[in-house]
């Protein structure tokens, strides 16, 4: 009889806020599973769909391409998703379940978490992946701050995408103790908003690839 082997835990990595080809290729070659393109004009990491399309053309088909939207009309989200051949869309605003249900490709729905957050509201969203980010009044993500991960219900922990203040300094703790399905990283690997820092990216993936062994 062949002995059973436990399945190795493989933390997925999404690098968000991609604005240029150099950063996209750096993150892809370093080992990113997914890249995020922010189509919210108020973001410091905004990229136009036209410019994102030019980058996406040069990426591997095995890299997930995620479009990030904030309170956008579903029909516009669907149009951009088709034109850019996105693998999924991330709704990072105050979207209602009805809006999420009108998206034609896989949806990641973000929730901004503080100590008073009611996790039962996640049940209102069907057939979506949950991204849990730090709450900041008037700020839709990109804060570089984490929240109290211990309040995440244990029954959903292994299926969520964790965001907010994740860096090379705490990735080992997350990998060993939190064990989410994936992490979403942006500001901790930047030299300024929208521009990645090569050394920070390399350091992050050096630790991640070590943990993955």
* Cβ 208 vs Cβ 189: under 8 Å: no
Q: Is 44 contained in some domain?
A: yes
CATH number of 148's domain: 3.20.20.70
DSSP character at residue 4: P
pLDDT tops 60 at residue 1: no
Q: How far apart are CA 18 and CA 55, in angstroms?
A: 9
Q: Which of 13, 4, 39, 23 is nearest to 166 (CA)?
A: 13
| Torsion sign across C-alpha atoms 10, 212, 169, 151 | positive
| Percent of residues, the chain, with pLDDT higher than 70 | 93
The structure's pTM equals: 0.92
Q: Is residue 160 part of a domain?
A: yes
Contact status, residue 92 vs residue 62, Cβ threshold 8 Å: no
Q: How far apart are CA 142 and CA 23, in angstroms?
A: 17
Distances (CA, A) of 25 to 21, 30, 32, 110, 159: 6, 8, 10, 26, 27
Residues 180, 150: Cα–Cα separation, whole Å: 12
Q: Band the pLDDT of 4: cuts 50, 70, 90.
A: very low
Quick check: 148 pLDDT over 60? yes
Q: Is residue 58 part of a domain?
A: yes
Domain span holding position 177: 12-212
Q: What is the tens place of the pLDDT at every residue in 65-112?
A: 999 999 999 999 999 999 999 999 999 999 999 999 999 999 999 999
Which positions are catalytic? 16, 133
- What's the pLDDT band for 143 if we cut at 50, 70, 90? low
| pLDDT reading at 191 higher than 80 | yes
- Is 5 within a domain? no
CB 24 within 8 A of CB 18: yes
Residue 74 lies in a domain: yes
Q: What is the pLDDT of residue 85?
A: 97
- Looking at the DSSP bridge assignments, the partners of residue 65 are 35
Of 148, 155, 71, give the one whose Cα is nearest residue 117.
Answer: 148
Average pLDDT, the chain: 93
Q: Per-residue confidence at 141, pLDDT binned at 50, 70, 90?
A: low
Q: How many domains does the chain have?
A: 1
Q: Distance (Å, rounded) from C-alpha 114 to C-alpha 210?
A: 31
pLDDT, position 136: 72
Residue 7 domain flag: no
Is residue 65 in some structural domain? yes
* 2 pLDDT higher than 60: no
In a domain, 3, yes or no: no
Whether residue 153 is predicted with pLDDT greater than 90 in this model: the reply is yes
Indicate the range of 19-23, 53-57, 195-199, 206-210 predicted with least confidence: 206-210
């Amino acid at each position: 009889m062949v002995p059973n082997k436990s399945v190795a835990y493989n933390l997925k990595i999404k690098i968000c806020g991609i604005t240029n080809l150099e950063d996209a290729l750096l993150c892809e070659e370093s080992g990113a599973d997914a890249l995020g393109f922010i189509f919210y004009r108020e973001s410091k990491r905004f990229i136009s769909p036209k410019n994102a399309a030019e980058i996406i053309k040069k990426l591997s088909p095995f890299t997930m391409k995620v479009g990030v939207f904030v309170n956008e009309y579903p029909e516009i989200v669907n149009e951009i998703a088709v034109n850019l051949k996105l693998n999924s869309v991330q709704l990072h605003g105050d979207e209602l379940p009805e809006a999420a249900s009108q998206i034609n490709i896989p949806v990641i729905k973000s929730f901004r978490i503080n100590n008073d957050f009611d996790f039962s509201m996640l049940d209102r969203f069907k057939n979506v992946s949950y991204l849990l980010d730090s709450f900041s009044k008037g700020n839709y993500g990109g804060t570089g701050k984490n929240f109290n991960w211990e309040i995440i219900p244990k029954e959903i922990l292994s299926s969520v995408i964790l965001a907010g203040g994740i860096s090379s300094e705490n990735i080992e703790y997350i990998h060993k103790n939190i064990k989410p399905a994936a992490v979403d990283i942006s500001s901790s690997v930047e030299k300024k908003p929208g521009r990645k820092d090569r050394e920070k990216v390399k350091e992050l993936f050096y630790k991640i690839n070590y943990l993955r062994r």
